[in-house]
């Protein structure tokens, strides 16, 4: 793939005319998907997909184009050059862009991670037998992922990796569910079978009668997966500098009114794991580590170079969408073994579902409990709870009501596959809050 | 890329399978977006590939590929066959080619003016003028306008004789203004969630005077909301405009009645459903005023088509009639698995995803009441427009929605504007609280490009049309 990318870039850059600048992005995957329902195969197949995205800049104007990569190279080269010619005709018709960011050469990078994954032909036979006897539903996704970036200033980045994930739920006959994920790079059949066996064990406590709760305020422990759902919301009208500037950020109050979260709360972009490329769509390389919220105070927003130019800020080489690419939340001192004791009486929430801002600039989020969520009394799990809706603000559960942060950090891989298989994930601990609002 | 001859590619496949299908999709999305008078995006993105699908030993296997020469397609079919055969012993259902009924036909979006009648420069100029019209005062701190044009060609051929060519032209237009005063920020858009989405051509942008008037109203309402009172809290009646009904129908009827959800396919991601197979033909889903149709045949609606991606011919069907749940949103595979009647809704987001049960156009049929009659029937309530927040549980029971703009209804009259309107409820009792339904004059046709579902994940376009509707005794509340 890298060779094709190099050849296409060379062909495109050789066609540039005086005063033209070009950035080329490449994203691709060779994937296997196996969809499972009731521990049986619902759908299975393979996907080979790759896109080439071009950004042509000329006379302070910008035009984008994107086409599917059609191998072999000779076919692709002709299509890419045709696209460049189309963009050349269009770009001169567009208004000037005062915030244009021209490509620079700040150095090139290359990272290729090979893995000993599960061969596609063996996947079904390796995965399905361990599911025997339970109602398991989920998705297996595996294979190579490619990312490339090059520009007419001579800079080039290439990132290539191979990953797998089985994201699944196990369901009891009376519809209670536990969530599991087994993900990585090198396949380990024994470890996979242990993962499934552990999830089966978790079902035992789910077999108790469900407890129906009334709306109200509850002392609550959020397991890491639930915390990550809250933090995900920061990437949607939250931590983006553009959203703060344009009046659509839940964190805007931290800038304009000096609002703070709890001093126990720390959030950063941390690329040191190397699981995602540090370069963005402009080929800019983000810092290894960037504190976002430090001891409850807004330390940095994510600032793209375009936003920096528009609002006269300093870029921290965020992506154009200014979303988090490698978020990490700091741990605290609450040991996992002490969680139930410290919770005392209240809620143990493993997972959340369908979060949305119910008041975006107010920082209020609504959503629901899902999967293994329990009622706890005097430090002991009593029963799973019926699904409840919550509606509460980040300024309470990450702020005034945050009592303790867990000592153990869990890595939660990003298993979404909308545009293609996502890279990376989120590292975070659980949190204990004094009060959390359930509404329905 | 040269024109693909799918029939020739199909005939070049030499494998021992019970059925083979090829679905070529070429889709070009042009996005033009101007914010605060400056261009933000002028992008044309094209995706083009072929989904090769094979049935062997009762199991489908697929290979979605961006290599479309004869040798590659033949190789893809062989690999898809291996996928099918390796999975067959674990198959959830043993299918035959009945799951892919043979149809031939064509579909083309109805439009008046081709999109190339407006140049990129002219469209940018219009979007800049819309930005100017949105900025009605210095309190408006950010404005934007979007035009998105999608041109799609689907060609589906199969070994049992299907040959379906469908061409779509889809346009989304949106405009948005955010106003600020002190700590208050309010945003108003054109229908929420890119709701003004249709199958149409450049005629969408023909009436500039009308578009600029819409933009001015959006800007004015964003400012109006700054000084509006907070939406009251309490149990009261709500009157919902069609651009909010769009989401109410989508989340609490559409997803709940998808048969693949009811069969459990989505339990690890989007969720299950409170609807059970036994409910069809019996469940009083809503009041007798509730009539929901699945109708991909509506001219100009966003998710109209002639055939689904399994090749089944699309027809209008009642999902809920006089409040009773009649049939689910299940394509041919779901119909076979469940033994229940369904609809032609087996759809994929593109060539690189396998089809699953999706909504198309799912509409609430109009009733007889005028808007004035509905308002006059409300002693204390809130009228809400344009969705801005949505959430519902994994069984499609407990929902919560927020809207951009609302007015109090007091003693049968619209009175004060209120901000941050929200309401919540539970799907089945909520629809049974449907008290009045608007006539065709109150009917609005909307859609959204952003319905997410499936594993691997897929985003697909859906259409929802609805009249204004009145619901009794709903829990209403305001902002943070």
Give the one of A47, A247, A354 whose C-beta lies nearest to B180's C-beta: A247
Q: How far is CA B436 from CA B366, B378, B431, B466, B468, in A?
A: 10, 10, 11, 13, 9
Distance from CA of B256 to the nearest CA of A (A): 15
Confidence of residue A208 (pLDDT cuts 50, 70, 90): confident
Predicted confidence at residue A206, as pLDDT, reads 86
Output the DSSP codes for B94-119: ---GGGS---EEEEE---SS-GGGS-
Which residues in chain A are closer than 8 Å to B1, comparing Cβ atoms? 70, 75, 79
CB contact under 8 A, A70 and B48: yes
Q: For B446-462, what is the mean pLDDT?
A: 96
In whole angstroms, what is the distance from residue B36 CA to residue A311 CA? 13
Which residues in chain B are closer than 8 Å to A180, comparing Cβ atoms? none
Predicted confidence at residue B191, as pLDDT, reads 87
CB contact under 8 A, A98 and B264: no
pLDDT at B1 exceeding the cut of 80: no
**Segment B96-129, tens digit of pLDDT:** 999 999 999 999 999 999 999 999 999 999 999 9
Q: For A337-342, what is the mean pLDDT?
A: 97
Backbone dihedral angles phi then psi of residue A225, each to the nearest 5 degrees: -65, -35
Q: For B305-331, what is the mean pLDDT?
A: 98
Predicted confidence at residue B193, as pLDDT, reads 78
Which pair of tokens denotes residue B238? 């709500």
Which residues in chain A are closer than 8 Å to B455, comparing Cβ atoms? 33, 35, 138-139, 167, 417
Which residues in chain B are closer than 8 Å to A421, comparing Cβ atoms? 456
Q: Within 10 Å of residue B222's Cβ, how many Cβ atoms?
A: 30
The answer to whether the CB of B162 falls within 8 A of the CB of B264 is no
CB contact under 8 A, A44 and B63: no
pLDDT at A204 exceeding the cut of 90: no
Cα A37 to chain center, whole Å?
Answer: 25
Which residues in chain A are closer than 8 Å to B125, comparing Cβ atoms? 95
pLDDT at B480 exceeding the cut of 80: no
CB contacts < 8 A, A to B, total 254
Which residues in chain A are closer than 8 Å to B61, comparing Cβ atoms? 44-45
Confidence of residue A26 (pLDDT cuts 50, 70, 90): very high
Q: Cα–Cα–Cα angle for A76, A78, A82, nearest 5°?
A: 115
Residues near A152 by beta carbon (within 8 Å), at least 6 away in sequence: A13, A16, A20, A21, A22, A23, A103
Predicted confidence at residue B27, as pLDDT, reads 98
Confidence of residue A260 (pLDDT cuts 50, 70, 90): very high
CB contact under 8 A, B86 and A124: yes
pTM, whole model, 2 decimals?
A: 0.96
CB contact under 8 A, B389 and A70: no
Nearest in space to A440 (alpha carbons), one of A388, A383, A381, A363? A388
Predicted confidence at residue B2, as pLDDT, reads 60
Average pLDDT, chain A: 96
**Segment A41-91, tens digit of pLDDT:** 999 999 999 999 999 999 999 999 999 999 888 889 999 999 999 999 999
For A121-226, strand residue ranges (E) read: 135-151, 156-171, 177-184, 216-222
Radius of gyration of chain A (CA): 24
**Segment B423-443, tens digit of pLDDT:** 999 999 999 999 999 999 999
Which pair of tokens denotes residue B334? 């779901």
- Residue B265, SS3 per DSSP: coil
CB contact under 8 A, A167 and B268: yes
Give the one of B61, B263, B424 whose C-beta lies nearest to A440's C-beta: B424
Q: For B159-171, what is the mean pLDDT?
A: 98
Which pair of tokens denotes residue B128? 């800049």
Give the one of A35, A47, A94 whose C-beta lies nearest to B42's C-beta: A94
Which residues in chain B are closer than 8 Å to A177, comparing Cβ atoms? 267
CB contact under 8 A, A64 and B43: yes
CB contact under 8 A, A247 and B426: no
CB contact under 8 A, A45 and B64: yes
Which residues in chain A are closer than 8 Å to B120, comparing Cβ atoms? 90, 93-94
Q: Within 10 Å of residue A18's Cβ, how many Cβ atoms?
A: 5
Q: For A253-263, what is the mean pLDDT?
A: 96
Q: Within 10 Å of residue B164's Cβ, how many Cβ atoms?
A: 24
CB contact under 8 A, B44 and A65: yes
Predicted confidence at residue A122, as pLDDT, reads 92
CB contact under 8 A, B38 and A99: yes
What is the share, in percent, of chain A residues with pLDDT greater than 90? 94
pLDDT at B175 exceeding the cut of 70: yes
Q: Is A436 exposed, middle or buried (0-12, 13-18, 19+ CB in 10 A)?
A: buried
CB contact under 8 A, A51 and B47: yes
The answer to whether the CB of B329 falls within 8 A of the CB of B357 is yes
Give the one of B91, B183, B395 whose C-beta lies nearest to A387's C-beta: B395
Which residues in chain A are closer than 8 Å to B48, comparing Cβ atoms? 67-68, 70
**Segment A372-402, tens digit of pLDDT:** 999 999 999 999 999 999 999 999 999 999 9
pLDDT at A217 exceeding the cut of 90: yes
Q: For B254-274, what is the mean pLDDT?
A: 98
ipTM summary value: 0.96
pLDDT at B458 exceeding the cut of 60: yes
Average pLDDT, chain B: 97
Distance from CA of B439 to the nearest CA of A (A): 31
Which residues in chain A are closer than 8 Å to B453, comparing Cβ atoms? none
Predicted confidence at residue B437, as pLDDT, reads 98
Alpha helices in B284-357 (DSSP H): 332-338
CB contact under 8 A, B390 and A253: no
Q: Answer whether the bond into residue A2 is a cis peptide, omega within 30°.
A: no
Backbone dihedral angles phi then psi of residue B422, each to the nearest 5 degrees: -135, 155
């Amino acid at each position: 793939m890298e060779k094709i990318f190099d050849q296409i870039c060379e062909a495109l850059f050789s066609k540039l005319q005086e005063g033209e600048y070009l950035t080329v992005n490449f994203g691709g995957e060779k994937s296997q998907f196996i969809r499972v329902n009731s521990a049986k195969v619902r759908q299975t197949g393979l996907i080979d997909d790759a896109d080439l995205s071009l950004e042509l800049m000329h006379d302070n104007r910008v035009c984008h184009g994107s086409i599917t990569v059609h191998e072999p190279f000779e076919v692709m080269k002709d299509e890419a050059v045709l696209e460049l010619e189309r963009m050349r005709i269009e770009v001169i018709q567009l208004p000037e862009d005062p915030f244009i960011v021209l490509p620079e050469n700040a150095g090139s990078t290359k990272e290729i991670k090979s893995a000993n994954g599960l061969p596609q032909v063996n996947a079904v036979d390796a995965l399905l037998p361990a599911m025997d006897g339970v109602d398991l539903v989920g998705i297996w996704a595996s294979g190579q992922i490619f990312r490339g970036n090059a520009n007419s200033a001579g800079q080039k980045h290439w990132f290539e990796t191979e990953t797998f994930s089985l994201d699944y739920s196990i369901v009891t006959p009376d519809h209670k569910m536990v969530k599991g994920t087994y993900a990585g790079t090198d396949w380990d059949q024994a470890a996979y079978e242990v993962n499934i066996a552990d999830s089966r064990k978790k079902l035992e406590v789910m077999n108790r009668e469900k407890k129906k709760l009334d709306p109200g305020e509850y002392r609550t422990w959020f397991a890491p997966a639930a915390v990550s759902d809250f933090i995900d919301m920061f990437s949607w009208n939250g931590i983006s500098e553009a959203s703060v500037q344009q009046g659509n950020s839940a964190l805007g109050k931290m800038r304009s009114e000096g609002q703070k979260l709890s001093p126990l709360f720390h959030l950063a972009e941390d690329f040191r794991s190397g699981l995602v490329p540090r370069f963005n769509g402009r080929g800019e390389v983000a810092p290894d580590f960037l504190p976002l919220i430090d001891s409850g105070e807004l330390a940095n927003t994510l600032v793209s170079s375009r936003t920096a130019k528009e609002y006269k800020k300093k870029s921290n080489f965020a992506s154009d969408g200014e979303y988090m690419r490698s978020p990490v939340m700091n741990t605290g001192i609450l040991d996992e073994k002490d969680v139930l004791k410290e919770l005392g009486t209240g809620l143990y929430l493993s997972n959340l579902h369908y979060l949305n801002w119910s008041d975006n600039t107010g920082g209020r989020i609504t959503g629901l409990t899902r999967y293994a969520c329990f009622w706890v009394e005097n430090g002991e799990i009593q029963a799973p709870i019926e699904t409840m809706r919550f509606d509460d603000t980040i300024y309470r559960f990450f702020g005034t009501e945050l009592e303790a942060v867990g000592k153990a950090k869990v890595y939660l891989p990003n298993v979404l596959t909308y545009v293609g298989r996502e890279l990376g994930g989120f590292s975070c601990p659980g949190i204990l809050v004094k009060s959390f609002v359930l509404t329905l | 890329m040269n024109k693909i001859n799918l029939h020739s590619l199909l005939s070049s496949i030499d494998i021992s399978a019970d059925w083979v299908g090829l679905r070529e999709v070429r889709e070009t999305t042009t996005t033009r977006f101007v914010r605060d008078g400056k261009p933000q995006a002028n992008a044309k993105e094209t995706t083009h590939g072929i989904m090769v699908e094979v049935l062997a030993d009762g199991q489908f296997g697929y290979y979605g590929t961006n290599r479309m020469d004869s040798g590659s397609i033949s190789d893809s079919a062989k690999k898809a066959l291996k996928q099918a055969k390796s999975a067959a012993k674990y198959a959830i259902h043993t299918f035959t080619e009945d799951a892919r009924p043979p149809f031939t036909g064509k579909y083309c979006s109805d439009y008046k003016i081709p999109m190339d009648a407006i140049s990129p420069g002219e469209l940018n100029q219009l979007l800049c003028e819309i930005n100017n019209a949105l900025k009605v005062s210095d309190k408006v701190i950010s404005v934007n306008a979007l035009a998105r044009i999608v041109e799609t060609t689907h060609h589906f051929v199969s070994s049992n004789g299907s040959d379906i060519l469908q061409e779509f032209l889809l346009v989304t237009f949106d405009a948005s203004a955010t106003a600020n005063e002190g700590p208050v920020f309010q945003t108003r858009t054109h229908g929420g969630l890119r709701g003004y989405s249709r199958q149409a051509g450049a005629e969408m942008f023909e009436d500039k005077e009308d578009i600029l008037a819409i933009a001015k109203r959006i800007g004015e309402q964003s400012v109006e909301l700054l000084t509006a009172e907070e939406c009251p809290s309490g149990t009261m009646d709500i009157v919902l405009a069609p651009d909010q009904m769009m989401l109410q129908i989508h989340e609490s009827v559409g997803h709940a009645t998808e048969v693949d959800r009811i069969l459990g396919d989505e339990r690890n991601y989007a969720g299950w459903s409170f609807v059970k197979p036994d409910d069809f033909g019996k469940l009083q889903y809503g009041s007798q005023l509730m009539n929901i149709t699945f109708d991909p045949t509506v001219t100009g609606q966003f998710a109209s088509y002639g055939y689904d991606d399994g090749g089944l011919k699309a027809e209008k069907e009642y999902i809920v009639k006089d409040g009773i749940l009649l049939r689910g949103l299940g394509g041919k595979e779901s119909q076979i698995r469940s033994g229940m009647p369904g609809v032609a809704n087996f759809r994929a987001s593109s060539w690189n995803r396998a089809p699953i049960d999706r909504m198309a156009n799912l509409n609430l049929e109009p009733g007889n009441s005028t808007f004035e009659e509905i308002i006059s029937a409300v002693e204390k309530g809130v009228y809400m427009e344009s969705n801005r927040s949505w959430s519902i549980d994994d069984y499609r029971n407990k929902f919560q929605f927020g809207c951009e703009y609302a007015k109090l209804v007091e003693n049968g009259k619209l009175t004060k504007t209120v901000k941050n309107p929200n309401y919540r409820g539970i799907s089945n009792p909520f629809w049974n609280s449907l008290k009045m339904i608007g006539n065709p004059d109150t009917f609005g046709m909307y859609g959204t490009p952003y319905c997410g579902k499936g594993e691997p994940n897929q985003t697909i376009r859906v259409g929802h049309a609805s009249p204004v509707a009145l619901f009794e005794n709903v829990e209403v509340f305001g902002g943070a």
